[in-house]
Chains A and B, each alone.
Chain A
């Protein structure tokens, strides 16, 4: 007998004579305490994310590349990983080109194996989009794909994320419903709620454990 059938048989005999419990999931318990007026949503998100060292700027959807340039200049960073095939990637590249910026734009255009060393050690910053955010917990939702692969938001010490103000949901449940997650998830879906951190030594909070040391969120409002 295989381990699989042994285990399943044991579990089935443990259930003999019992009936499955009904699905009485009460969504009010996970939504009602976490609802916000539209004007409070951004505030809630900001407060929670800033409390865990996230830098947040509210910018208009046509001049945000300027802000990116300023963020990089302030830190004196040499390169930025971006996704040229996305709208925001293009918008940024155009801006940096005409502004004579010295920042070198990198693209994640080959499999990780082909440039692992460089990707792990030499990329200063990355910029990715998000598919929204959750006000209740102060979380960004990242949906990595071919253009913005999984490691893009993890390896560089600085991660800049773009968030549309209109895509902030009240809570995780609302987000799942709105985007119909149960109909199909990407290979890797991420909620990111700040730069990486640890409190494993004496419970003292330290940022920049294994992932980004800094997270900057640009909230784009319609111009």
Chain B
């Protein structure tokens, strides 16, 4: 029998949710299978290591170059888009972005919105915001649709419903849409197609994300396989694209390496079925396409990350999801455990700038620092390095002035004292020897209960003799040879 995934109830912190997720066999199987297959697909899509590394380097430089001129490029993008007939809006916060979107919908007296996949709209919690104001906001990507129908959030940025298997989807469709249960994935997709096609036809407004915004030509580029992105941006009379301000690139040619890196890293595809390049609303002599196109540029903490040269690298991200596919932690705990819009390694390095470390104090340390994420990242974001930096920011004392939003969330005077003691101990030979002497003699006195460690492990007991001691004896016996 399929069971509901308990972790969707986002109670408690990362640790509590991780515990529940780890005990859920179905969830773990679903993720393990999916991640294994995504890793293999990516590897197969990059058969030539030299080509791959050359392209990653180019991808990194292309993004770094764009960021090094970000404010100018945003102005250029705005000017070009305006020339093309697209209206550009700026939002510092998700609240502002939602107000803008709602304002556009209200001006058209719209009540029905269809959405192509957009992680930024998840950041904004746009669906809820609009629903509260009487606007139906329907996800149209199959995975997003399934997740929305079940009142959940996406568990992966590319494959939102990856935590569910076909039986769970079939049951859901049966319960919510009143259709027959079926084990046939094709039939399930056709059910989605029929239901959503009517919605595309009737929608007043289409909302989408953006993969790359090209300053040179004033073009919004979107990738997708299903055609729902094209539907959402073409069929309704109004199209609103929402995007983070880091998505801008300088020239049209810059998307060539980035596009190839994105689709190969994400799904192992040489390219997605559709690459949709939008440079303006319907022209006077054209017969379809939206009459109005809007772009909402969202900051939401990005300018904060931008201000720090090291953290700025998080804005290189092209949201391919490869880092989560290769993450041993993500694969085991699943996307919902992170409790935020962006899960996995990328989530750990971007979320603190958006919501502050107070809200995600465990994220920087929920990593083994194995380095897999940094090795696969197509734009070479040094994720492990940034995680270490966040760990430092996380424990900074108020006097040390953390540089990341709500830094010092995990600062504890007690812990600081323990470390200070440890440092003194290890930097004074006399104290160190004294400590060793004591620890080996009185080993039996080590506490049986040492915090969370002993919940799952036996307590550590020092050995009878120290390594130093044994080495000294060995050297003496062998005459130092």
Which residues of A approach B to under 8 Å, CB–CB?
2-4, 6-8, 10-15, 18-27, 29-30, 33, 48, 52, 108-113, 116-117, 120-121, 136-139, 145-146, 149-151, 154, 171-173, 176, 181-182, 184-204, 206, 208-212
Residue pair B277, A189 in contact (C-beta under 8 Å):
yes
Docked Cα-Cα span, A19 to B309, in Å, equals: 13
Residue pair A210, B92 in contact (C-beta under 8 Å):
no
Residue pair B159, A203 in contact (C-beta under 8 Å):
yes
| Interface size counted on chain B using CB atoms at 8 A | 99
With A149-B286, A196-B225, A201-B166 already in contact, 11 other A-B pairs whose C-beta atoms are closer than 8 Å: A4-B90, A14-B303, A25-B254, A30-B257, A108-B287, A137-B271, A173-B256, A198-B189, A202-B185, A210-B226, A210-B227
Residue pair A111, B228 in contact (C-beta under 8 Å):
no
A14-B307 contact, Cβ under 8 Å, with A139-B271, A200-B143: yes
Q: Taking the complex as formed, is B366 at the interface, i.e. its CB lies under 8 A from any CB of chain A?
A: no
Q: Taking the complex as formed, is B204 at the interface, i.e. its CB lies under 8 A from any CB of chain A?
A: no
Residue pair A18, B227 in contact (C-beta under 8 Å):
no
- What total count of A-B pairs have CB within 8 Å? 256
Residue pair B277, A7 in contact (C-beta under 8 Å):
no
Residues of the A chain whose Cβ atoms lie less than 8 Å from the Cβ of B307:
10, 13-14
Docked Cα-Cα span, A4 to B226, in Å, equals: 34
Residues of the B chain whose Cβ atoms lie less than 8 Å from the Cβ of A203:
33-34, 37-38, 159, 162
Shortest CB-to-CB span from B94 to chain A, Å, is: 12
Residue pair A188, B273 in contact (C-beta under 8 Å):
no
A210-B276 contact, Cβ under 8 Å, with A29-B55, A138-B270, A139-B271: no
Residue pair A185, B285 in contact (C-beta under 8 Å):
no
A208-B189 contact, Cβ under 8 Å, with A20-B65, A187-B289: yes
Residues of the A chain whose Cβ atoms lie less than 8 Å from the Cβ of B273:
52, 192-197, 211
Docked Cα-Cα span, A208 to B194, in Å, equals: 11
Q: Taking the complex as formed, is B401 at the interface, i.e. its CB lies under 8 A from any CB of chain A?
A: no
Residue pair A209, B226 in contact (C-beta under 8 Å):
yes
A7-B226 contact, Cβ under 8 Å, with A187-B283, A188-B276: no
Among B70-78, B425-433, B455-463, the stretch that binds chain A is: B70-78
Docked Cα-Cα span, A15 to B169, in Å, equals: 48
A188-B289 contact, Cβ under 8 Å, with A24-B61, A154-B234: yes
Shortest CB-to-CB span from B287 to chain A, Å, is: 4
A187-B278 contact, Cβ under 8 Å, with A173-B256, A208-B190: yes
Residue pair A3, B90 in contact (C-beta under 8 Å):
yes
A14-B306 contact, Cβ under 8 Å, with A185-B217, A195-B273: yes
Q: Taking the complex as formed, is B406 at the interface, i.e. its CB lies under 8 A from any CB of chain A?
A: no
Q: Look across to chain A and name the residue whose beta carbon is closest to the beta carbon of B305.
A: A14
Residue pair B245, A209 in contact (C-beta under 8 Å):
no
Residue pair B226, A198 in contact (C-beta under 8 Å):
yes
Residue pair A176, B274 in contact (C-beta under 8 Å):
no
Docked Cα-Cα span, A154 to B186, in Å, equals: 19
Docked Cα-Cα span, A130 to B360, in Å, equals: 49
Q: Taking the complex as formed, is B347 at the interface, i.e. its CB lies under 8 A from any CB of chain A?
A: no
